[in-house]
């Protein structure tokens, strides 16, 4: 956790358990402080004063250590040929606990292409740890003086369907139910709140107890030039059920397996590409 952050540690644990996690690497949490000439003392002071503007200005001057910069380029090249698209995700050392998930407080950048662009997005992830919103949240839930922000770089899943699985009912706190939300395309459409996902309530054996299908006006999909775009959906595609019974049963099995291994209910982001189910991240359900 101290080196890889909450998200990075969770992904490494799931990969070690043999779960279908896309390949990737982690820029360690100490890299930001190590890149600053004073070891982060000035930045820590700005964070404690919640001066987001000055903190961002300072981070914009930061250059990755030359050895780390080269390591990032080599690790990125190892994920695939031809500027393989990746997701660059913030991974704070204090995030993804049962008491405080920090979900949505820092940035994630999708379909990033090219080594130089990846390094730029690493810096952008660092900066997002010092936004006004993130500093306010950290003042309530964590330490403002904490500079521990790792960055996860993962090969991008070009999702046909994506969403979230809760291995309990997070609203009613029922452990005999699971809840799945699903959208066409990348899960960012649902995570951002831009569209209303399909909502499925499952029994623990994966059978569907309730299905609420919502019309989805557009899907968030990869832009071949990098980044993402919105693709309008036809009325037939928009109104169709997003997840069939087979997929929901597979999600229930995956969720049950992971919950049994880690011991607490899980909030799991997932995606399907060409029929293959992937786990993008998982955290304890925040209580």
- pLDDT at residue number 96: 47
Confidence at residue 146, expressed as pLDDT on a 0 to 100 scale: 85
Q: What percent of the chain lies above the pLDDT cut of 90?
A: 75
Give me the mean pLDDT over the 111-127 stretch. 94
pLDDT-based confidence at 94, cuts 50/70/90? low
User: How many CB atoms are located within 10 Å of the residue 160 CB?
Assistant: 17
Q: What is the pTM of this model?
A: 0.88
Each residue's pLDDT tens digit, 101-111: 445 567 889 99
List pLDDT tens digits, range 232-283. 999 999 999 999 999 999 999 999 999 999 899 999 999 999 999 999 989 8
In angstroms and rounded to an integer, the radius of gyration of the C-alpha atoms of the chain is 19
Predicted confidence (pLDDT) per residue in 26-50, tens digit: 999 999 999 999 999 999 999 999 9
Going through the chain in order, the beta strands assigned E by DSSP cover 24-27, 86-92, 108-112, 149-155, 161-166, 177-184, 198-203, 208-212, 218-222, 228-232, 266-273, 276-284
């Amino acid at each position: 956790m101290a080196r890889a952050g909450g998200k990075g540690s969770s992904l490494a644990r799931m990969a070690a358990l043999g779960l279908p996690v896309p390949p990737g690497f982690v820029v360690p949490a100490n890299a930001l402080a190590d890149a600053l000439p004073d070891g982060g003392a000035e930045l820590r002071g700005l964070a404690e004063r919640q001066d987001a503007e000055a903190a961002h200005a300072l981070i914009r001057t930061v250059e990755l250590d030359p050895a780390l910069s080269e390591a990032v380029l080599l690790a990125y090249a190892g994920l695939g040929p031809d500027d393989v698209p990746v997701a660059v995700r913030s991974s704070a050392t204090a995030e993804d606990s049962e008491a405080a998930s920090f979900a949505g407080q820092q940035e994630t950048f999708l379909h990033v292409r090219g080594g130089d662009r990846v390094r730029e997005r690493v810096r952008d992830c660092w900066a997002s740890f010092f936004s006004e919103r993130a500093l306010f949240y950290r003042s309530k839930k964590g330490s403002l003086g904490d500079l521990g922000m790792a960055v996860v770089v993962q090969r991008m899943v070009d999702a046909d369907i994506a969403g979230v699985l809760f291995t309990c009912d997070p609203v009613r706190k029922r452990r005999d139910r699971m809840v799945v939300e699903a959208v066409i395309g990348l899960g960012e459409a649902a995570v951002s709140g831009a569209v209303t996902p399909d909502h499925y309530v499952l029994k623990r054996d994966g059978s569907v107890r309730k299905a609420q299908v919502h019309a989805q006006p557009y899907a968030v999909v990869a832009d071949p030039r990098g980044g993402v775009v919105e693709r309008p959906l036809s009325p037939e595609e928009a109104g169709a059920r997003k997840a069939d019974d087979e997929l929901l049963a597979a999600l229930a099995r995956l969720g049950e397996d992971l919950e049994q291994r880690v011991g607490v209910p899980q909030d799991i982001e997932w995606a399907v590409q060409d029929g293959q189910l992937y786990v993008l991240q998982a955290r304890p359900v925040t209580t």
